[in-house]
């Protein structure tokens, strides 16, 4: 025969085990969030790269991670998403021409993207602008040459 105190002890033990499991899951979610925040701070190259941080935030909320940790994660996401989008815009602009590249660089600067990340794109822009200027000069010289030839005839 099982006494009522044994039943009560079993119930308390089951409740304690359940609570320990919840705390472990919360701790795991907290660790996962911290790792995702660290990875995001190292500079995600694309908006999709921040997907891990978004998932970690959702899991952390569901598992009851502290508000402070959640706020830190949300702040990093809010800072890094525009930078990741600016990086993507810079990559896309390479094939679109000087005006798109100029605009992408301006957007990237507003997101405080590190200067060393902008240098290759600024150099590309300078090269493209020099090429366009040379093409415009050549075109202008060709027009003058054509006019001069027409006057001789």
Domain chopping of the chain, boundaries: 18-152
Q: What is the mean pLDDT of residues 41-50?
A: 78
Torsion of CA 131, 132, 138, 143, to 10 degrees: 170
| pLDDT of 1 higher than 70 | no
Q: Which of 21-25, 45-49, 127-131, 149-153 has the lowest mean pLDDT?
A: 149-153
101, 92 Cβ separation under 8 angstroms: no
36, 72 Cβ separation under 8 angstroms: no
Give the model confidence (pLDDT) of 64-74 as tens digits: 999 999 999 99
| pLDDT of 27 higher than 70 | yes
Give the model confidence (pLDDT) of 93-113 as tens digits: 998 989 999 999 999 999 999
User: Other C-beta atoms within 10 Å of 90: how many?
Assistant: 21
Distance CA(29)–CA(12), nearest Å, equals: 26
76, 40 Cβ separation under 8 angstroms: yes
| pLDDT of 153 higher than 90 | no
Q: What is the pTM of this model?
A: 0.69
């Amino acid at each position: 025969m099982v006494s009522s105190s044994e039943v009560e002890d079993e119930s308390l033990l089951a409740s304690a085990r359940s609570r320990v499991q919840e705390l472990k899951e919360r701790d795991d979610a907290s660790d996962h969030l911290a790792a995702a925040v660290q990875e995001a701070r190292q500079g995600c190259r694309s908006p999709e790269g921040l997907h891990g941080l978004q998932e970690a935030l959702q899991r952390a909320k569901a598992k009851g991670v502290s508000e402070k940790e959640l706020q830190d994660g949300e702040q990093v996401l809010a800072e890094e998403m525009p930078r990741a989008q600016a990086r993507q815009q810079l990559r896309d602009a390479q094939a679109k021409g000087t005006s798109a590249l100029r605009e992408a660089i301006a957007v990237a600067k507003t997101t405080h993207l590190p200067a060393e990340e902008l240098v290759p794109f600024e150099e590309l822009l300078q090269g493209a602008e020099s090429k366009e200027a040379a093409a415009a000069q050549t075109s202008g010289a060709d027009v003058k040459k054509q006019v001069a030839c027409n006057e001789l005839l």
